[in-house]
Structure 1
Amino acid sequence: MEKKLRAMDPDVARQMFEEGGTLVFLGMPVGTEFGIDLNFWNVGERFKGVKMIPPGLHFIYFSAVNRQGDTAPRTGFFHVFEQREVLVRHYDPASEDLRSEEVDPSEVSSIRANLRSLDRHLGAYPLESWSKWVSLTQYITPSELHRMVPLSGKICSAPVLITKSETEEKNEESEPSKSRVEEPSRNQLKESDKPQFTESECDPLISCSAASPASTSSVHSSTFSTSSSTSVTSKPTQASTPQPITEFLSNSPKPSVSTESPDTILASKNPKKYPKIPEMVQQPGTEVRFTKFPARPYRDGATPSEVTQNCLDSTYSMRRMIEGLDSPNSLLSELQLAFVTFLVGQVWEGWEQWRALVMSLCRAQKLLEEEPQLYDRLMSVLHFQISEVPGDLFVDIVESNNFLASALATLFANITDSCTLLPPTLPRKAQRFRAHLSAKFDWNLNLEDNEEDAPVVVEL
């Protein structure tokens, strides 16, 4: 960073120092990974922040590093710097995070007054990467940023997980247990109806006290005690065939035949308690608040023809999302925020939202005809985003296909089909964009559907 500063024109450096923002980061241990926007470093002993920060949106992030060089998950936050703003943050090495308490305004005023004395401890913002950062974030306004950032204000690459409260777990477990007590099984016998056995007649693996009607019905016994306490002793008859045992059970409920092994019965009598794995949920307020897609891509009561059409053309879903936003351009703000939270913040949910938005926007042909300016800007946004990542990132390792190439092929085909309804500049821009991608990544962006594979809209 010092080498970059020496190469900068002295007048430009002086102007940026006076007009740019300053980030003072105190308490950060040596070796910690620290970054701003598209640049990051491992800090040294003298590091206390960054100077000459251009006004506008920036992303500051950090990761703890241990003695073996292993890096912890990344944590960061967005901040819109004003001209000559001084932002002070304290790092807590114990928690490896920012301190939660607010910085005293008197401390900020003191640092501002002595800013020149801190100059040798402040690294210069790499201005050569600023234009690239602006191209990735130009549609993220302060209001759009406020709409989407987590309530905690922090972007965490690893989800912050907590266990459900004990009260919630008890409430969930009490309902089924209560129903089991109040509604016993129909086959369950009263205690007085259970056949009684002598100890010598019980299975050697099961104590008499543990015997149940189901488990003891198969044990041959000569004496039973009925509910009326009348003792009946079985005696052999004069006939050569013995009397059926059911004759002695005429006043007792017929027990069911047991199919359980003694080991199963013993396990159910004295179950071994294993530690319960706690149910983990993401801590409320730590998730990025992306716009949710409709549960179904078609309206309630849609005809089969409408269902088919809305599954092929995602205009319905896009319209539903736009209804809750300030304008269609809010989709571009979300597309950019999702991309940078994945690219720089390393948040996987950002990638998933970005992919879903790209695929849906490229399939929305009716929205293309209604909002051509939105799609003109979309191609510019995608141009800068695609340039920041390798082409194989867009290949689905499960389906072995390039989802982005497929989505863009659909977009270019829709532009060609609707060219008479669009401004002349849009088809020309799409043609240049397609030629650029084909040359850079060797992608086939022609939508080739023969008569067998072409989708068919059913009219009923």
Structure 2
Amino acid sequence: MASSSSSSSSSSAVNMDPDVALRLFEEGATLVLLGVPKGTELGIDCKSWQVGPRFRGVKMIPPGLHFLHYSSVNSPTCGNEIGPKTGVFLHLKPREILLANWDPKEEDLDFSASKNQEEVSRIRATLQELDPYLGPYPYEVMRKWVSLTDHLSEELVNNLQPLSGRICAYCDVIPEIEYRHTKDRAEQPVNDTVCQSMKEGLDRLPKMKLREGTELRFSVIPEKTYPAGATPAEITQCSMDLSYALETVLKNYELQPLHILGELQFAFVCFLLGNVYEGFEHWKRLLALLCRSEETMGKRKQLFLDLITVLYHQLGEIPPDFFVDIVSQDNFLTSTLQDFFQFASGPGVDVTLRKRAEKFKAHLTKKFRWDFDADLDDCAPVVVELPEGVTVD
């Protein structure tokens, strides 16, 4: 969903403040990307382009955390089909030069050249000659990018991203049992009969698993929201107020509980810019956990004040009709936020948090025309009265 442009990236520097441009020129990092095929869709943070024949990389990048994302494109003779997106989180230092070469076989960027100090030194020495082929960082999206990642640190990214370092829009799966030799495959039973059901067909397919090192390493959200040995009354209470489950997850961030918001931002960026549906699913689960934890809301004021700010920026990046197409099918977001606003208006909630929640509720109501005061009982099952004398076994 990143914005795209087919024009030269040099246009982004036209409206840049001269002082800012000079500072970024002197202190900014440089991303040298060699051999990227013409037509490749490539972006950094919240903006993307279609690469031209002169493209060699991006300059004047503000130091800090960034997300590079790209999709290979077939030649015109093959229909210009766009491949799945790949993303890489980068933490760049002032004046750093990061070098990558395009691997045509893998259709991916190879950053191993950055480990060759002689090659990096050579690039630095010829940087002035390379400058006309480098597009400036899209400064106009920097504020937006920072607002979407202000709780996301380099350490947190390293803990959450796959060990491979690649955020892939598709699942890289392999068979659970690999038959490497022809003899092994030949010995497997062959069933030529027609499948009688979908389940039977799925059961016949080889069992697959994610390739090791490619899976996102999100926090595990407990399936049971109540402690072991809980009474029926406690189970009911923990199902209505998810504070026990939330506090269990927060133990991963015991020293810095606000890092859970960094994980929420990481999942959102993976979905928004990386097209990773798993990121969207985890964002939903984590958000539901945060919004339905009444007891924790009374104890961790700053966590929920910052949650409102995080959601304000995230929801501002998604078109309103997106929720109609995906979220509103099960009324996830409106019902989740409805619970949040109800808990935030409770007597045990800090007055600052209560007022911030009221303003956020008014903002969403105006922007999306969502009704957070609708009676959820409207969705309850209808009780049908049977005629006198009629019973149901």
TM-score norm. by structure 1 comes to 0.72
Please give the per-residue CA displacement for 1:135-189, whole angstroms capped at 9, x wherever unaligned: 00000011111110110001000111112343799xxxxxxx9xxxxxxxxxxxx
Of 375, 391, 410 in structure 1, the residue corresponding to residue 304 of structure 2 is 375
Give the CA deviation at 1:42.
Answer: 0.8
Are residues 94 and 414 of structure 1, via their aligned partners in 2, closer, same or farther at CA, if it must alter by over 3 Å? Answer: same
Structure 2 unaligned segments of length 5 or more: list them: 1-8, 182-187, 195-203, 381-393
- Partners of 1:272 and 1:390 lie apart in 2 by 48
- Partners of 1:7 and 1:323 lie apart in 2 by 46
SS in 2 for 1:57: strand
Give the CA deviation at 1:84.
Answer: 1.0
Please give the per-residue CA displacement for 1:369-420, whole angstroms capped at 9, x wherever unaligned: 11011000000000000010123433576983421111111111111113xx
* Pairing of 1:130-209 with structure 2 (within 5 A): 130-166=142-178
Give the aligned residue type for 1:20.
G
Q: Is the 8 A contact 1:395 1:402 kept in 2?
A: no
- Partners of 1:41 and 1:346 lie apart in 2 by 16
SS in 2 for 1:324: helix
Which residue matches 1:281? 209
Give the aligned residue type for 2:174.
I
Are residues 397 and 78 of structure 1, via their aligned partners in 2, closer, same or farther at CA, if it must alter by over 3 Å? Answer: closer
CA RMSD of aligned residues (A): 2.7
Please give the per-residue CA displacement for 1:88-122, whole angstroms capped at 9, x wherever unaligned: 11111122012374531111111112211111010
- Partners of 2:220 and 2:191 lie apart in 1 by 45
Which residue matches 1:237? none
Which residue matches 2:117? 105
1:297 to 2:250 alignment = no
- Partners of 1:81 and 1:324 lie apart in 2 by 27
SS in 1 for 2:66: strand
Identity of aligned residues (%): 42
Q: Is the 8 A contact 2:12 2:139 kept in 1?
A: no
SS in 1 for 2:345: helix
Give the CA deviation at 1:7.
Answer: 3.4
TM-score norm. by structure 2 comes to 0.84
- Partners of 1:287 and 1:25 lie apart in 2 by 26
Please give the per-residue CA displacement for 1:179-221, whole angstroms capped at 9, x wherever unaligned: xxxxxxxxxxxxxxxxxxxxxxxxxxxxxxxxxxxxxxxxxxx
SS in 2 for 1:79: strand
Q: Is the 8 A contact 1:335 1:354 kept in 2?
A: yes
1:428 to 2:363 alignment = no
SS in 1 for 2:264: helix
1:311 to 2:323 alignment = no
Are residues 397 and 77 of structure 1, via their aligned partners in 2, closer, same or farther at CA, if it must alter by over 3 Å? Answer: closer
SS in 1 for 2:340: helix
Give the CA deviation at 1:272.
Answer: 5.9
- Partners of 2:236 and 2:93 lie apart in 1 by 50
Give the CA deviation at 1:298.
Answer: 0.9
Please give the per-residue CA displacement for 1:45-74, whole angstroms capped at 9, x wherever unaligned: 110000011111100011111122210000
* Pairing of 1:225-304 with structure 2 (within 5 A): 277-304=205-232
Give the aligned residue type for 1:342.
F
SS in 1 for 2:342: helix
Which residue matches 1:83? 94
- Partners of 1:375 and 1:46 lie apart in 2 by 47
Are residues 101 and 54 of structure 1, via their aligned partners in 2, closer, same or farther at CA, if it must alter by over 3 Å? Answer: closer
Please give the per-residue CA displacement for 1:283-336, whole angstroms capped at 9, x wherever unaligned: 111011000111311111110001111111111110111112243212101100
Give the CA deviation at 1:435.
Answer: 0.6
Give the aligned residue type for 1:5.
A
Q: Is the 8 A contact 1:395 1:403 kept in 2?
A: no
Of 81, 88, 92 in structure 1, the residue corresponding to residue 103 of structure 2 is 92
SS in 1 for 2:298: helix
- Partners of 1:425 and 1:398 lie apart in 2 by 29
1:73 to 2:1 alignment = no
Which residue matches 1:6? 14
Which residue matches 1:366? 295
Of 22, 42, 45 in structure 2, the residue corresponding to residue 34 of structure 1 is 42
How many pairs align?
354
- Partners of 2:151 and 2:93 lie apart in 1 by 17
SS in 1 for 2:98: strand
Which residue matches 2:132? 120
